Amino acid sequence: MNAVTPSANSAWSTIITIGALLWGASIALVGSTLLGIVLALQMESRGYDTTVTSVVMAGNFAGFLVGALYATTLINTVGHIRAFAIFATMQSALFLAHPILDHWAIWAVLRLLSGACLAGIFTAVESWMNDRTPTESRGTVLGIYVITNYLAQIAGQLLVNVWDFTQIEPFIIASILGSLSLIPVAMTRLYPPELSDVQRMGLIELYQASPTAIAGTLGSGVLVGSTLSLGAVFAQRIGLSVYETSLFTGSILVGGMLLSFPSGRLADMVDRRFVMMGLLAIAIAVSLAIVTSATTIPNFWLLLALVALFGGAQASIYPISVAQAFDHIAPQKYISAASGLLIVFSVGATLGPILASFIMRWQAVGLFLTTGVLSTVMLVFIFYRTMEREAAPEELQESVTVLPTTLGAIELLDLSEDVQDFEDHFDEKLESIDDE
């Protein structure tokens, strides 16, 4: 059987070639997202303490980090297709285990394991994509990949309306989707690649290079983790129906999908830190509006618009933070730096729901009180950094690349030209010093 090789002439031909991989990852993500909102709604309907719910929901982010760091071992041992099959099958079984092992502590463990499996799925798919994507198509392919991820998550949120979330059907559907994700990948004719290990840059070294990047990434993780994990709980507590709740949580993702790219382009034209402060100001304003008038906003669609604006602001901070770090390190360290920032993001996303849950014990709006306070702290810190350090010279700045928060996607960064440009610029500076 002949392997299919991608054409270097068009990003779209590449997308068609790797379409099976995109389909497999997207189907798996739809099922995982559906399970997430179902668990949040079930726990809220049963009257669980918010902190208990947050621990269960945060388990997914913790598991995703574990899986991203260690999935490569299994992939390198058994190969990409077998590893994908193992992760997808295990995830499908874990979804069905939730209604059988009906206890919040067991659910937390199951969420951690299913998050690790999802990370393994994406690590296998993304490294495969990296191997099959021509250099000139990487930006377009990555952009399309990010959009498909958002669409899959939005679809998962909306699917909760099809079945009664208190019954077993949503768990069965999530499990079926996990199993179906195997079919496109198992049928692909692409030869799997050799996966190289990603070396991490020390976090202390990374902080010394760019404190703003660390702060922005950690804060973005807390914002994203808390709102995606507890957004459904908040919506239920302010009296929204299940359908309205799905639109509410889906709007967070729609905002991220629509605003991340224009925010990134703006951050390429002016000091990135000013853009980050503007995004944080938006997050603060929306948080304040919801805290003061969540139940009195005159129009539901106005609430969705506010939440979408907030979702776009919080989703944009992570890729701009990565670019901010890249401005202050050599291109040879880009991948290891991005991997380190992903770890920081995942830690924030794990801690965010737990932190917000303590405030939500007081009132539902405690979720956005948390995001507002945190955004204010971040804004003040970044403003302080603008006083302490000037922006990197324009010729050393890298364009903002909107990345999904997965380890494998980091390898899609094309660094060859960046390394050469950096070396040429460095050589020019040395020559100018010699001339002087």
Burial of 218: CB neighbours in 10 Å, binned 0-12, 13-18, 19+: buried
| The pLDDT value given to residue 432 | 44
Low-confidence ranges of the chain (pLDDT < 70): 1-17, 130-140, 189-201, 294-296, 331-336, 338, 389-436
pLDDT at 327: 78
**Domains identified in the chain and CATH numbers:** 16-190 (1.20.1250.20), 201-405 (1.20.1250.20)
Determine the pLDDT at residue 283: 94
Name which of 315, 297, 312 is nearest 244 in CA terms: 297
Tell me the DSSP string of 320-380.
HHHHHHHTTS-GGGHHHHHHHHHHHHHHHHHHHHHHHHHHHTT-TTHHHHHHHHHHHHHHH
pLDDT in tens, 68-111: 778 778 877 887 788 888 999 999 999 999 999 989 999 999 99
Q: DSSP per residue over 146-160, as a string?
A: HHHHHHHHHHHHHGG
Give the dihedral of Cα atoms 173, 176, 177, 178; nearest 10 deg.
Answer: 120
Helix (H, G, I), strand (E, B) or coil at 115: helix
3-state SS assignment for residue 296: coil
Distance CA 88, CA 429 (A): 51
Model pLDDT, residue 270: 80
Closest C-alpha to 207, from 325, 332, 377, 317? 325
By residue count, the chain amounts to 436
Show the 3-state SS of 252-285. HHHHHHHHHHHHHHHHHHCCHHHHHHHHHHHHHH
Longest dimension (CA), the chain: 77
pTM > 0.75: yes
According to the model, what pLDDT value does residue 124 have? 80
Compute and round to an integer the Cα radius of gyration of the chain: 22
Q: Assign residue 406 a region: left if phi > 0, alpha if psi is -120 to 50, beta otherwise?
A: beta
pLDDT in tens, 399-408: 555 555 555 5
Looking at residue 420, its pLDDT comes to: 47
